[in-house]
Amino acid sequence: MESDTSWSAHQLTEFLAAVSSVADAPAALRAAVERAAEALEAEVGALVDVNGVVSSVGFARDRVPDAELRAAAAARDSYLDVPGVGRCDVLSVAFEELDGGRLLVARSGSGPYGPEERNLLRGLARVLSLSLRGLRVLAEERRLRVESERQAEQNARLFSSLQERQELLVQLALIQRLISTRAPIDEIHAAIARGVAELTGDQMVGLRWLNPDRPGWLEMIASTGLTPELRDATRHSGPGAGAGGRAAAEDRLVVIEDYSEASDALEPMVADGVTAAMAAPVHENGRVAGSLAVASREPGRRYTPVECDILTAFAEHVSLAMTDASTARALRDALDSARHDAMHDRLTGLPNRALLNDRLTAAFHRAVRQQAGLAVLFLDLDGFKLVNDSLGHAFGDQLLTAVAARLTSCVRLVDTTARLGGDEFAILLEDIKDPCEADRVGDKILAALREPFALAGQQITISASIGVAVHSHVEEVDDLLRYADLAMYEAKAAGKGRHRRFEQVMHSRSLARLDIETALRRALDEHQLVVHYQPIVELKGGALVGTEALVRWQHPQRGLVPPVDFIGVAESTGLIVPLGAWVLAEACRQTQAWADDHPEGPPLSVSVNLSAGQFQPGLVETVAGALADSGLPPHQLVLEITESTVMANTQAALHLVHRLKELGVRLAIDDFGTGHSSLAYLRRFPLDILKIDKSFIDGVASDLKEAAFAHAIIKLARTLGLGTVAEGIEDAAQAVKLRSLRCDFGQGYYFARPMAAEQLAELLGRRTLRPPQSRSA
């Protein structure tokens, strides 16, 4: 079978998984000995140290030959007589975690051990010591947890070393997969370099191979995080030079801290600002074949024992991988697809985030060096989630693919269009002369997306919000994408379907948003929110018929914060859901409380605004709960929805609205006339009340044309059998005019401003607010 050669590499992964899953050190040792014997198909496995046998399998438990095992572990090419089995060949390797520790296996009849098996056992020993340290860390962490906060920092460090162990597994599995899928050797090398970089957090990794034609010289065959200059300068290195050279020459782990002081430091590395380096030897068929090195520019970098072990374990794994990969060289046909898959998004075929980051890093350094221009566009589709939810994921996928094609058509071949995930894309523009070029590409993309997409027999349009960052905005390459993202957010907040270039002020705005978000969360917890009520009156007689509930934030320092300052943040963070639910419950409770206090008069209704963010599963239950908890009769609750809420996602919204209606509540359409004012949805939605926006009221008494508009809306509402409420009435003239136009109800400063519940309670006795019969001059 072709894959026979990779059995050992994945045995190591299995072994690591097995010993990592146990709870304590004795169990880990026992599992390790058992699994080592199983991996090498040996009858005997044992771990010995200076004091004797620590753990063993293969002997009747009361007849473990302590002295023989220790002798066999110490000698080279030894054998062991195992009762019932006979003479068994012994393979043993050092296990440095224990004083004089050795891990050994002994087996019968399979002939001598091959180099791959020797490597495997050594790898197992390394991995075991890594796991043991992890377990000690875990035990330590448990103990420290009791000591609490004093050790918080230490805990964090310990915790992260546990995570490292998990990460190691993930990285090893990745390399395992590349080997098993016969990925080209370059790709395996690259994955190794990347894996080490991720595990150690060091920027620079180099995998060097001994040059067979030049004894002692090493050739860099894969690296990550090195500038092109540095890569050129360190492509060949002499015998024993640098950490990597010494690790290969001395066949051991080499750690160099205070790199610039080291006598054997590589000059170009020192010039590049390297502060520390560490390297482990890599073996091929039992002999040193090269080294795996990491280097850091972080001042005062020190390597922990866990990090030393991670690098060693990784290098062991590389050794095993090479045994297989060298035979895999012939099988390069998987090269293109494997490389492509690793760096591309499956759905759209565009480069993925990883490839974008690679290209971005390279382009950034090029741009800095050549003083050329570089820009990143961060693009997020507007309302894609709604498309996905209402038309299905398959449709959403088709749309993403079609969007990807349009984006690609908007840029040059040299530019990179990548899908970052979900409905997020990024475009890397290289060699631009002027930031305005990036804006022009943004315009071009917005125009291209404006054309409807014909998919699955449907026409659909979707807009996008785009943020632009150019390299002069940033010092670190990592900031480019982040800044473009911030700018995208601002484009969204400014009304979507547009692009925005990053400005420093966006930073502070984003911090301010965060600030509000945090404060708002606290406000919810600490009951800083209050509901105010604005009376709604019958225009005919001035009778108080209901209120509109409006949320206010009583900030302990800032005083009363108007909704405009926090509702947007609540919407974008999802806080709108708990906030909205609270307002609803409070408004229902208060309205019923007034009814209980004043059983003599007709009960008031209460209008509560529903925002787009609340239109999701659970809304109906929330409303039903508020009604049930308060005892408010459903028809006294009016839910106000806006045009934009229902327009955005007609199908899903319609469904929810019908379910709300089934509860018996009334529905009002808010701000009618300001949006698209589609008659179609006025007919399709089961509405009861139409609220006329203040902008139509302002001129109603003074401007004939305005009055005609208002009249038309009122007539429309009456035709459809809807009640009408005029919003923002500020003077008597407006009130009189509206009454003459047969508008039913009104609200506004002319009658009363929004007020606290206690103030409103005082009005309840009166029940009539400024009947508009008489006009004051």
Partner 1 sequence: MLAATEALDAGEGAKFLLVFSSPSYDLQELTAGVAAAADGLPFVGCSTSGEISTSGPGDNTVIVLCLGGPGFEVAVASTTDASDDLRRAGARAAECMERVGDKGHRVLLLLTDGLAGDQQEIVRGAYGVVGAEVPLVGGCAGDNLEMKRTFVFHGEHVMDNAVVAVALTSDASLGIGVSHGWRPVGSPMLVSHSSGTRVLSLDDEPALDVYLRVLNAPAEAHTDQAAFTHFAQTHPLGISRRSGEEVRFVADADFADRSLGCIAPVPQGGLAWIMEGDIQSVLAATDEACASALAQLAGLPPLGFVAFDCIARRGVLGSEGIKREVDRISQQAGGAPVAGFYTYGEIARTRGTAGFHNQTLVVLALG
What is the closest distance, in whole angstroms, from the C-beta atom of residue 289 to partner 1 in the complex? Answer: 23
Nearer residue to partner 1 within complex by CB, 54 or 729: 54
Rounded to whole angstroms, the Cα distance separating 573 from 567 reads 10
Q: Is residue 531 exposed (0-12), middle (13-18) or buried (19+ Cβ within 10 Å)?
A: buried
What is the closest distance, in whole angstroms, from the C-beta atom of residue 396 to partner 1 in the complex? Answer: 21
Q: Report the DSSP pairing between strands 464-470 and 499-501.
A: parallel
Nearer residue to partner 1 within complex by CB, 345 or 744: 345
Tokens of 388: 């996905």
Nearer residue to partner 1 within complex by CB, 109 or 273: 109
Rounded to whole angstroms, the Cα distance separating 710 from 416 reads 52
Cβ atoms < 10 Å from Cβ of 209: 19
What is the closest distance, in whole angstroms, from the C-beta atom of residue 91 to partner 1 in the complex? Answer: 13
Taking alpha carbons only, the member of 380, 772, 217, 705 closest to residue 542 is: 772
What is the closest distance, in whole angstroms, from the C-beta atom of residue 290 to partner 1 in the complex? Answer: 24
What is the closest distance, in whole angstroms, from the C-beta atom of residue 152 to partner 1 in the complex? Answer: 32
Rounded to whole angstroms, the Cα distance separating 29 from 96 reads 13
Q: Where does this chain bind partner 1 (CB under 8 A)?
A: 1, 3, 6-8, 10-11, 13-14, 16-18, 34, 37-45, 57-63, 82-85, 107-109, 169, 172-173, 176-177, 180-181
Burial code of 28-64, b = ≥16 C-beta within 10 A, e = fewer?
bbbbbbbbbbbbbebbbbbbbbeeebbbbbbbeeeeb
Cβ atoms < 10 Å from Cβ of 77: 10
Handedness of CA 300, 306, 310, 316 (dihedral sign): positive
Long-range contacts of 507-514 (CB under 8 A, 24+ apart): 510/486, 513/569, 513/572
What is the closest distance, in whole angstroms, from the C-beta atom of residue 333 to partner 1 in the complex? Answer: 13
Nearer residue to partner 1 within complex by CB, 91 or 722: 91
Taking alpha carbons only, the member of 286, 293, 352 closest to residue 320 is: 286
What is the closest distance, in whole angstroms, from the C-beta atom of residue 21 to partner 1 in the complex? Answer: 10
Rg (CA), the chain: 36
Nearer residue to partner 1 within complex by CB, 296 or 323: 323
Taking alpha carbons only, the member of 160, 162, 174 closest to residue 13 is: 174
Nearer residue to partner 1 within complex by CB, 44 or 570: 44
Degrees (nearest 5) of the Cα angle 308, 7, 106?
Answer: 80
Nearer residue to partner 1 within complex by CB, 107 or 499: 107
What is the closest distance, in whole angstroms, from the C-beta atom of residue 7 to partner 1 in the complex? Answer: 5
What is the closest distance, in whole angstroms, from the C-beta atom of residue 70 to partner 1 in the complex? Answer: 18
Nearer residue to partner 1 within complex by CB, 44 or 506: 44
Write the single-letter amino acid at 709: F
- Strand 424-432: give its sheet, edge to edge: 416-421, 424-432, 373-381, 464-470, 499-501
What is the closest distance, in whole angstroms, from the C-beta atom of residue 93 to partner 1 in the complex? Answer: 17
Nearer residue to partner 1 within complex by CB, 133 or 182: 182
Nearer residue to partner 1 within complex by CB, 60 or 330: 60
Tokens of 356: 């974008």
Nearer residue to partner 1 within complex by CB, 40 or 769: 40
Degrees (nearest 5) of the Cα angle 329, 333, 337?
Answer: 120
What is the closest distance, in whole angstroms, from the C-beta atom of residue 166 to partner 1 in the complex? Answer: 12
Q: What is the DSSP letter of 604?
A: P
Nearer residue to partner 1 within complex by CB, 173 or 524: 173
* 710 neighbors 741 (Cβ within 8 angstroms): yes
> Coil, helix or strand for 188?
helix
What is the closest distance, in whole angstroms, from the C-beta atom of residue 89 to partner 1 in the complex? Answer: 13
What is the closest distance, in whole angstroms, from the C-beta atom of residue 10 to partner 1 in the complex? Answer: 5
What is the closest distance, in whole angstroms, from the C-beta atom of residue 528 to partner 1 in the complex? Answer: 44
Cβ atoms < 10 Å from Cβ of 137: 20
* 478 neighbors 365 (Cβ within 8 angstroms): no
Nearer residue to partner 1 within complex by CB, 178 or 381: 178
CA distances from 8 to 38, 39, 317, 506 (A): 12, 8, 9, 53
Q: What is the DSSP letter of 362?
A: H
What is the closest distance, in whole angstroms, from the C-beta atom of residue 56 to partner 1 in the complex? Answer: 9
Nearer residue to partner 1 within complex by CB, 82 or 318: 82
What is the closest distance, in whole angstroms, from the C-beta atom of residue 440 to partner 1 in the complex? Answer: 40
Rounded to whole angstroms, the Cα distance separating 526 from 493 reads 28
Q: What are phi and psi of 594, to 5 degrees?
A: -65, -40
Nearer residue to partner 1 within complex by CB, 40 or 256: 40
What is the SS3 string spanning 266-316? CHHHHHCCCCEEEEEEEEECCEEEEEEEEEECCCCCCCCHHHHHHHHHHHH
Q: What is the DSSP letter of 616?
A: S
Write the single-letter amino acid at 497: G
What is the closest distance, in whole angstroms, from the C-beta atom of residue 177 to partner 1 in the complex? Answer: 5
Tokens of 309: 């072990």
What is the closest distance, in whole angstroms, from the C-beta atom of residue 38 to partner 1 in the complex? Answer: 5
**What is the full DSSP assignment across 526-581?**
TT-EEEEEEEEEETTT-BEEEEEEEEEEEETTTEEEPGGGTHHHHHHHTTHHHHHH
Nearer residue to partner 1 within complex by CB, 177 or 742: 177
Strand partners, 296: 276
Nearer residue to partner 1 within complex by CB, 37 or 561: 37
Nearer residue to partner 1 within complex by CB, 172 or 570: 172
Burial code of 351-386, b = ≥16 C-beta within 10 A, e = fewer?
bbbebbbbbbbebbeebeeeeebbbbbbbbbbebeb
